[in-house]
Amino acid sequence: MTEGKPVHLEAGNHAVLLLHGLSSSPLEMRFLARALHREGFSTVAPVLPGYSAGTREQRMEAWVAAAVSEFDALSCRYTHVSVCGLSIGAALAMALVSKRPSAKSVALLSVTLDYDGWAIPWYRFLLGWAYFTPLRNRWRYREQEPFGLRNEALRSKVARAMLKGDLSEVGPATISLNALHEASRLARSVRRIVPGVSTDCLIVHAIDDETSNPANARFVSSHLASTFIRTIYLDDSYHMITSDNERETVAREVVMFLRESEAAAEAGEGGKAPVVSKALARRLRQIAALAK
C-alpha cells in the first residue's frame, strides 16, 4: 500500500482542514476539497504521521498531536480555520477543536464513536480482546461490500481496487488491529470531551450508514455545548458520504454552514438551530409503524 498525497488548494482567507478516515488517505476528501476551493475556501487534506496509510502506526495521542500541528500551521496563515473530518476523522476533528477552541467551526461527516452499523460483522466485539493476544500484529480487518457506498457503479470500481490491495477514494483494503484499537481509544476519549466543545458544529450522517449508526450523530448533537449546531441526515448514501450519491449535497451543506458560521460571528448572533431532514422523519415513522 502506498501513501496518499496531501491536498493543498489555495483560495481565500478561510482555510478548511480536512481529516480523512482511519488508515486511509486524502483521496477520501478530494472531491470535497475541490468543491470548497471553487467556493473560495483554501483547503488542506494532509497526510498525518501515524494515522494515514503508508506511515508507521502510532498511538492515537500522536494522531491528535499531528492534527493540532496542521491546524496551528494554518492558523498562522489564515484569518479563519475550520476543521472537517470523516468517520474516525470526525472523532479526530472533535479531539482537535477541544484543544483549539479558536477553530471557526467543525463539520462532522459520518462521525464514528462506535462501529455499530448494520454491516459490521458480529465478531467485531471480539477484536478488543484479540488486541491482547498474538493476533495483535498479524491479523488485519478486510473491508467488505458495500465499502460504504450505496452507488453500485462506484462500489464495483472500489471492489477492483480493494482486490489489488490499493488505496481507493473510500479507504484501504485492510486495517490493522492496532489501528482499530487506537481508534476505539480515541472514540472513548472523544465521548468524554463532547460536552465541553462549544465550536459551531455541522453534523451530516446517512440514516442507512452501515458502519456507524445514526445514534453516533445523535449522541454528539445532544451533548455539545455549541450554540450554533446543524444536523442533517441523508437518505441515499451509506458511510462514505464524501464519495457516494449525495456528495454534492454534502459539499453544498458544508459550504453553506461555513458561510453562516462566519456571518453569525460577525453579527454577534447565535442560537441552537438543529435541522432534521425529511428523510429521517420518514424513516422514523416507518420504524414506528413496524413496531405497532
Q: Is the pLDDT of residue 239 over 60?
A: yes
Q: Which ranges in 175-245 belong to alpha helices (H)?
A: 177-193, 215-223
Listed in sequence order, the residues at least 6 apart from 123 whose beta carbon sits closer than 8 Å to its beta carbon are none
At 271 the pLDDT is 47
Grid cell for residue 90: 470526525
Contact of 258 with 222, CB cutoff 8 Å: no
| Annotated catalytic residue within 42, 98, 239, 244 | 239
64 occurs within a structural domain: yes
pLDDT tens, residue by residue, 46-67: 999 999 988 999 999 999 999 9
Query: 190-210 in b/e burial notation, b at 16+ Cβ within 10 A?
Result: bbeebeebebbbbbbbbbbbb
Tally of domains within the chain: 1
Residue 116 resides in a domain: yes
Q: Is residue 152 part of a domain?
A: no
CATH number at residue 37: 3.40.50.1820
Q: Can the peptide bond before residue 214 be classed as cis, meaning omega within 30 degrees of 0?
A: no
Range of the domain at 252: 7-120+186-291
Identified catalytic residue from 87, 176, 237, 261: 87
Catalytic annotation, pick one of 24, 37, 205, 209 = 209
Asked if the structure places residue 169 within a domain, the reply is: no
> 76-98: per-residue pLDDT in tens?
999 999 999 999 999 999 999 99
- Kindly state the average pLDDT of the residues 108-114: 97
pLDDT of residue 262: 86
pTM of the model: 0.86
- Reference 209, options 178, 176, 181, 233; nearest CA is 233
> Is 209 among the catalytic positions?
yes
Question: For residue 273, is pLDDT > 50?
Answer: no
159 belongs to a structural domain: no
Higher pLDDT, 264 or 113: 113
| Cα 185 to Cα 47: distance, rounded to the nearest angstrom | 21
pLDDT tens, position by position, 146-167 = 888 899 888 888 777 666 655 5
Active site residue 14: no
Contact in structure between 44 and 15 (CB atoms under 8 Å)? yes
Does 180 fall in a domain?
no
Q: What angle do CA 20, 23, 26 make, to 5 degrees?
A: 35
Residue 239 annotated as catalytic: yes
What pLDDT band is residue 135 in, cutting at 50, 70 and 90? low
